[in-house]
Structure formats: C-alpha cells, structure tokens
Amino acid sequence: MKNIYLIGDAETTGLPPFNLIFDWGYVIADNKKIIVERSFLVREVLCNGRVMLKALHGEDWRTMMGAKVFTTYIPAIAKRHMKIFGWREILETMRDDMLTHNVNRFCAYNLRFDMTALSKTQNFVTGEKKVLSQPCDLLDLWLCCCQYVFNSRLYHETAIKNNWIGQTAAKNVRTTAEHAYRFLTGDHSFIEAHTGLQDARIETEILWRILAKKQRLPINDIQSNPWQRAQKIRGTLLHTR
C-alpha cells in the first residue's frame, strides 16, 4: 500500500501542561510531492485574552513567541495570509483530508509533544481528548533524525564547526528540526519560522530525506528523549577539536 503522510506542526501557548495550540499547520504528502497544505489559527485559544495573557507570563514563551504575536501573526491576519478558525472546524477539515487522501501515517517533529498538545486543546475546547478518527501509524521525525542523521560522525563534525552545541556542560549536539534541515539541505544559516505551516513544510523536506535513506522507520515508536541517541560519538570528537 502506498504510504501517505500527514506532517503536522503545533505552535502552543507553552510547555506541558500549559500547551494549548494557537497555530496548527500540516502538509499531506507522499514520498515525492505535496498533496495538501493547511494553516489554521485557533479561535478558542488565540482570541482568548485570559489564555494568551497567561502564556505571556511564561518567560520562555514570551521570549520565543510573545513578540511574534505582534510582528508575525497580527500582520498576517490583517493581510489575510493567515485565517482564524474554530477548533471543531479545524478537526473536521483535518479528519476529512486524512480520509480523502488515505493518510496512513501521522508525523511530527517531536510527535509526543504535538499529540499531547492536540489532545490538550481538544479537551480544552470540547471536553473530549480523542483527535484522530481513524487508525493511523505514528512516526516521530525527531527520533528518525536522531537515529539516521544526528548520530553520524559527519553531523557531529559539522555541528562542532558551526557551533551547533548546547550550552550545558554536557556539550550535546543540537537535535532540533532547524538543525536537521540545515544539515540535510546544506543551508547552514537557515532559521526556522516557528509558525505551523512553514515548519510543517521543512519537516516534510526532512521526511523526504529520511525516506531516501531507505532505512527501517521507527513506526509507532514514541520516545521521550530521542536526543540521547544522537550523542553517542560526541565525546571523541569534542576532545579532538
């Protein structure tokens, strides 16, 4: 059976447990081309002053996303580049897209986070938790990259050369979608947009690069700390700088 993938990305009001989705974007694609793209701003979250003000109290969220509400989202809404939808309409559209295009694999970069955020938002709006209406395999692109991209000598050498190293004493190589895209495409100056659809697009490119490797995919393998797999050879390289 031909595999059809939904690659989703959620921008949320914070980390769990306060991770309601205000921007949800996804791409539906096969292993070569994009079939459908969708972008939704979530009315029940983005237009809820109490929720958004609470989000702004979180220093990390405020630093990363707070200004973007004014510099990115409000201008995009004004220009009609982004539109606000009710959560029930968003879910209905996504479920219909998945059924129409025979989606059998649901993907995200750090899928555990996105699945939790989807369930949290569904519960916040409707009182329910179920999001997907049909059986679907799950694929975490973060785990894929930690297995087949980041855990390589070439990536570690590139990370050291470009200072893609964490600030802690452990000096772990970074394993974000931004760094995966930089390495796989050769665009070492790429900066992730951190908006739903734009990030889903780069994650689709990451998926295609992973599929091209023709490795066994970790289907339905959801791990909390896949980044640890990417650190196996860092010690040797860091000590030979």
| Superfamily of chain region 5-238 | Ribonuclease H-like superfamily/Ribonuclease H (3.30.420.10)
Q: State how far the Cα of 143 lies from the Cα of 150, in Å rounded to an integer.
A: 10
Mean pLDDT, all residues of the chain: 93
Per-residue pLDDT, 26: 98
Per-residue pLDDT, 168: 82
Residue 204: which of 1, 33, 11 has the closest Cα?
33
What share of residues in the chain are helix, strand, coil (percent, to 5)? 50, 15, 35
pLDDT tens per residue across span 1-40: 799 999 999 999 998 888 999 999 999 999 999 999 999 9
Per-residue pLDDT, 127: 97
For the record, the structure tokens of 235 come out as 């010690």
**What confidence category does residue 41 fall into, taking pLDDT thresholds of 50, 70 and 90?**
very high
pLDDT at 241 over 70: no
106 near 132, Cβ under 8 Å? yes
Longest dimension (CA), the chain: 55
The neighbour count for residue 206, using CB atoms within 10 Å, is 24
Residue 55: which of 42, 39, 40 has the closest Cα?
42
Q: State how far the Cα of 131 lies from the Cα of 146, in Å rounded to an integer.
A: 27
Per-residue pLDDT, 57: 84
For residue 97, CA distances in Å to 11, 46, 103, 157, 204 come to: 21, 24, 8, 41, 17
For the segment 87-92, the average pLDDT, to the nearest whole number, is 98
pLDDT tens per residue across span 198-225: 999 999 999 999 999 999 999 999 998 9
pLDDT at 238 over 60: no
140 near 108, Cβ under 8 Å? yes
